[in-house]
Amino acid sequence: MKSRILKTFFSIVFLSIQWLAFSQSPIEKIEPPYWWSGMESDQVELLVYGPNITEWTPSLSDEHVNLVGVKKTKNANYLFLTLEIDPSSPKKDISLNFKRKRKKVAQKYSIVPKSEMKEGQAGLNSTDFIYLVFPDRFANSAPENDSNALMQDRVIARDSLFYRHGGDLQGVSDHLDYIEELGVTALWLNPVWENDQPKESYHGYAPTDLYRVDRRFGSNEAYETLVDQCHARGIKVIKDIVYNHWGDQHWIYQDLPDSSWVNFWPEFTRTTYKAPTLMDPYASEEDKRKMTDGWFDHHMPDLNQRNDELANYLIQHSIWWIGHFGVDAFRIDTYAYPDQAFMAKLGERILEEYPTFFMFGETWVHGTPIQAWFTDKNGAKKPFESHLQSVTDFQLHYALNSALNENFGWTEGASRLYYTLAKDILYEDASRNVTFLDNHDLSRIYSVVGEDVEKLKSAFAFMMTTRGIPSLYYGTEIGLKNFSNPDGLVRQDFPGGWPTDSLNKFTPEGRNMDENELFDFFSHLGTYRKNNPSIFSGSLTQYVPKEGVYMYKRTGEDKTILVVMNLNGTEKALDKQFSFFEKEGSFKVVATEDIGVDLKGEVIIAPYQTIIIERNH
């Protein structure tokens, strides 16, 4: 009996020692959180973080996964482990083992077959119509998320331009009917990942955790649900993503693996914002470096993507977002500012894994050659192909503003549209460019055109019928206005998105007569475009503007659509003495509104009015 008691005692002691040895894990984070088998690349590099983790020796014993690389950095809190995964590996949890002297730690890591990825990655094309939503300012359906005691910025103040207002992912989900009514086929949200900054954390462009949705928007699960809901409606989802910088509260920046992860300067040095230095044959190396390595702002450390571990980290987190959530496209913020060789490598790796995925870069630059230089296969002299299919078409945006607000001239007014589109020879495929009237950084188009309703309608009619992928900023369809000085003025709350709002502009009853007229116009054109392949895939022919009247046509298999824009402050008669009207076919004016056009007689086009005429073949 005594020997049995002693045996039991020593067994308990031994198990307790083992438990202590394996329970005191030094690991705080492993990223990516899990990975897939069957990828085009059979390797993944794990970032392992914990106090003095380099003192622990990692090992792995698994029939499907091998540990083929271990890298240490100057900071003892990081290890980078390269795993090689057998493409045939089933879904399983592997054990990453760490040993230091007599202590051992086992860390579970999951491998999932690529076949179990979320459906998505459908990409964008000219058939699509994008709706851009600023999540914090759209709708608040989960007030319990408004503030979080564990985060630095806990202030909710709807009367402030700089604090959070409480919009969330559930608010977007709850208004998908409204979005769908506009004929939208793709939803773009400004960044939703964590921005745990002490102030102005609402906009999302200073991320502090790349794998976590900001808790004040909801959760990873809430974002996943929203993506699923959109896909069920046939709406694609675009993730807004940043590679140039992080927020200075990012957990990695707070304890860098190595100082080379960030482009540090002896004193704060801001980027020049001068993109031409990247392709200018006469640019100085000093100007080039300031453009790419200068900081976007004081609280946005500029990332050095030439560091291999950082480059892998950014590429893998992008692949993970696509595979985990099933998003269909990336809008890449500040595309011109990161290292362009890295951006090319990023695009190549993403398309290697997801061939139908779509990426468009924000290129807030001046001049079509500069803008086109960033796109793929454009014939420009550069040492690499960017693998970037599309850019935000600022040049066409500038041209449209000129057409609506300047007098007609040889290169001014309506002529600006003609000359800008003539430069499409600089792109491999300009129909992939994302067009827009305004966005979260720009003055509202309704204010830009002097609150002229006819100009606003013409602007939208042009965007919806010319080449490209149109993008509509939330609230433009009901005439939201303001100039972007500061930016917060154009990031206003959508009326009716908060339970305490006195008016609900999401419903016809909450909108006034003018707002309903605008909404109906936008909704009709959105639906019309969606149902007419001649617009989104037909050939584009433009005519030299005459006396401030700009005309172009889209020719498809079954019909040709003529668009006539009177970009004058006076009436103009439609010139019917050209081939469109000479050919046989049935003609009709697209009923975007009751404008009383009779094609049999003289057609008078009102100031700044745009008419759309169909001819069936």
Given this model, what pLDDT does residue 592 score?
A: 55
Quick one: 446 and 380 in the same domain? Answer: yes
Single residue among 67, 84, 116 that ends a domain in this structure: 116
Query: Does residue 32 have a cis peptide bond before it, meaning omega lies within 30 degrees of 0?
Result: yes
Quick one: 313 and 190 in the same domain? Answer: yes
Tell me: the pLDDT tens digits for 432-448?
Answer: 999 999 999 999 999 99
Segment (H or E) for 231: helix 220-232
Task: Give the pLDDT band (50/70/90) at residue 598.
Answer: low
Given this model, what pLDDT does residue 584 score?
A: 67
Tell me: the pLDDT tens digits for 134-161?
Answer: 999 999 999 999 999 999 999 999 999 9
- The whole-number average pLDDT for the span 223-248 is 98
E strands, 117-173, are 130-133
What value, to the nearest 5°, has the Cα angle with vertex 65 and ends 351 and 58? 110
Q: In what order do the strands lie in the sheet with 559-566?
A: 539-542, 549-555, 559-566, 610-616, 586-589
Quick one: 260 and 193 in the same domain? Answer: yes
Tell me: the pLDDT tens digits for 188-203?
Answer: 999 999 999 999 999 9
- The whole-number average pLDDT for the span 408-420 is 97
Tell me: the pLDDT tens digits for 249-258?
Answer: 999 999 999 9
Quick one: 206 and 326 in the same domain? Answer: yes
Given this model, what pLDDT does residue 3 score?
A: 52
Burial class (CB in 10 A: 0-12, 13-18, 19+), 511: buried
Instruction: Kindly state whether residue 102 falls inside one of the protein's structural domains.
Output: yes
Tell me: the pLDDT tens digits for 565-583?
Answer: 999 999 999 888 777 887 7
Quick one: 261 and 161 in the same domain? Answer: yes
Instruction: Kindly state whether residue 410 falls inside one of the protein's structural domains.
Output: no
Tokens of 315: 């590429």
Single residue among 116, 139, 169 that ends a domain in this structure: 116
Single residue among 505, 531, 557 that ends a domain in this structure: 531
Q: Quick check: 177 pLDDT over 70?
A: yes
Which residue is catalytic, options 194, 362, 376, 614?
A: 362
- 35: containing domain: 26-116
Is residue 320 within 8 A of residue 114, CB to CB? The reply is: no
Given this model, what pLDDT does residue 595 score?
A: 47
Is residue 122 within 8 A of residue 237, CB to CB? The reply is: no
Which residue is catalytic, options 62, 214, 328, 333?
A: 333
SS3 content of the chain, % helix, strand, coil (to 5): 30, 25, 45
Overall number of domains in the chain: 3
The CATH number that applies at residue 267 is 3.20.20.80
Cα torsion through 70, 72, 76, 78, rounded to 10: -60
Given this model, what pLDDT does residue 10 score?
A: 45
Mean pLDDT of the residues in the chain: 93
Buried b or exposed e, range 251-278, using 16+ CB within 10 angstroms:
bbbeebbeebbbbbeeeeeebbebbbbb
Tokens of 140: 């608040």
287 noted as active-site residue: no
Task: Give the pLDDT band (50/70/90) at residue 15.
Answer: very low
Instruction: Kindly state whether residue 420 falls inside one of the protein's structural domains.
Output: no
Q: What is the rounded CA–CA span in Å between residue 425 and residue 272?
A: 29
214 noted as active-site residue: no
Beta bridge partners of 40: none
Q: How many CB atoms lie within 10 A of CB 306?
A: 15
- The whole-number average pLDDT for the span 76-103 is 97
Quick one: 109 and 160 in the same domain? Answer: no
Quick one: 520 and 561 in the same domain? Answer: no
Beta bridge partners of 297: 300
Instruction: Kindly state whether residue 215 falls inside one of the protein's structural domains.
Output: yes
